[in-house]
Amino acid sequence: MCGILGLITTDRDYLKNKAESFNTALSKLAHRGPDNTNIFSDSRSLIGFNRLAIVGSDQEVQPFISENKKIVVVCNGEIYNHLELKNDRYPV
């Protein structure tokens, strides 16, 4: 199971002051996702993700960020029957 951490605030100074402790907290979740760690930050939020790669490409990186950067998503989940679903849609 992956490790997810987030902080959202309207107080930019608070966010700046918490950046170091946020990184420390995310590192405490490293055992939950040792395969990849990423952080998204803007003027109102810090979103961290530690990935545990069970199934899927090594190229998958979270948080997922929309092109206009208005939507940032982290999720924890695997589709264990992905091959079956793929074969139903695209038979070999």
In the chain, alpha helices (H): 12-28, 82-89
> Across residues 65-74, what is the average pLDDT?
90
Residue 75 a catalytic site member: no
Spatial strand order of the sheet with 3-8 comes to 3-8, 45-51, 36-41
Phi-psi map region of 43: left, alpha, beta (phi>0 left; psi -120 to 50 alpha): alpha
Question: What are the extents of the domains in the chain?
Answer: 3-89
Lowest mean pLDDT among 2-16, 31-45, 69-83: 69-83
CATH architecture designation of domain 3-89:
4-Layer Sandwich (3.60)
Of 2, 5, 15, 47, catalytic: 2
> Across residues 72-87, what is the average pLDDT?
79
> What's the pLDDT at 56?
65
